[in-house]
Amino acid sequence: MNILFIGDIVGRAGRRAVRIFLDEIIEEHNIDFVISNGENSAGGFGITKKVAEELYDYGIDFFTMGNHTWDNRDIFNFIDDDPNLIRPLNYPENNPGRGWQTLKINSKNVTIVNLIGQIYMQNNDSPYHKFMELYPEIKDSDIILVDFHAEATGEKMAFARAVDGMVTAVIGTHTHVQTNDAQIFPEGTAYITDAGLTGAIDSILGMKPDKMIEKMKTSLPVSYDVGTGNVKIEGVIVKTDDQNNSVQQIMEIKKNNL
């Protein structure tokens, strides 16, 4: 099975990148399932039903979220009804939505889990312990994919090594910069520290550079606008063996219309 994981989609420019490049990637790599981090897909902050539907139309099958989950309040209207969107599992249990989902894809049970870090990210429970509590329930899935949304490289990698061999892949998100370290760990789990950014090329983290630069120069409050112009899509493809579901390959992909 070939799974595509697309890094944080930022605003209209990010959605445009999905529209332009997704079909082509799906075809080229014979993709069976497309996940993306959607926490910035609506104007850079959160997600709306309209934006989610637009992206489902372009071919995205499933969304994970992160620290921007609740930025756009429209999510409260549909998160409990949308079977294809999850938020961090290690949020309080009384929060709307769920932190994991199992789907049937090509007759395989595929479980997706969304976790968020604790380092430089306050108010989240231990991602490791929340995952281990869940694990007995999902461990017979054919494929388990984890989006670990976090700031610190060490936290992402330590989690992935702690569950090496227990899951198919741990894909990092949040920093909006693709890392150059896709690899398969000793016990067979595929890993990348960050899948990257899907959005405007002439941008800082997907937002127009001008306000980010003004902020650097003055520290005064600014409001950020989504970048425009040429766009890129970044992510990873994880290929698994259909016999035994082991990882065969994890590869970075990036495309742009420069």
Distance between CA atoms of residues 152 and 9, nearest Å = 20
CB of 1 to Fe ion, least distance (A): 26
Among 36, 40, 72, 90, binds Fe ion (CB under 5 A): 40
> Which residues, 225 to 254, sit near a second copy by CB under 8 A?
252, 254
The phi-psi region of residue 46 (left if phi > 0; otherwise alpha if psi is between -120 and 50; otherwise beta) is: left
User: Is 129 known to be catalytic?
Assistant: no
Specify the residue, 229 or 248, whose C-beta has the smaller distance to a second copy: 229
Task: Give the chain's end-to-end CA distance (angstroms, integer).
Answer: 31
Specify the residue, 9 or 110, whose C-beta has the smaller distance to Fe ion: 9
When asked if residue 136 is in the footprint of a second copy (CB under 8 A), the reply is no
Query: CA torsion angle for 64, 74, 151, 165 (degrees, to 10)?
Result: -20
Among 4, 5, 8, 147, binds Fe ion (CB under 5 A): 8
Specify the residue, 54 or 125, whose C-beta has the smaller distance to a second copy: 125
**Do the Cβ atoms of 168 and 192 come closer than 8 Å?**
no
CB of 104 to a second copy, least distance (A): 32
When asked if residue 29 is in the footprint of a second copy (CB under 8 A), the reply is no
CB of 149 to Fe ion, least distance (A): 6
Q: How many CB atoms lie within 10 A of CB 53?
A: 12
In the sheet with 169-173, reading across from the earlier edge strand, the strands are: 100-105, 108-116, 143-149, 169-173, 190-192, 183-184
Binding residue positions: 8, 39-40, 67, 149, 174, 176
- Footprint of a second copy (CB under 8 A): 70-71, 91-95, 118-120, 122-126, 128-129, 151-155, 157-159, 161-162, 175-181, 186, 193-194, 196, 202, 204-205, 209, 212-213, 215-221, 252, 254
Residues tagged active-site: 68
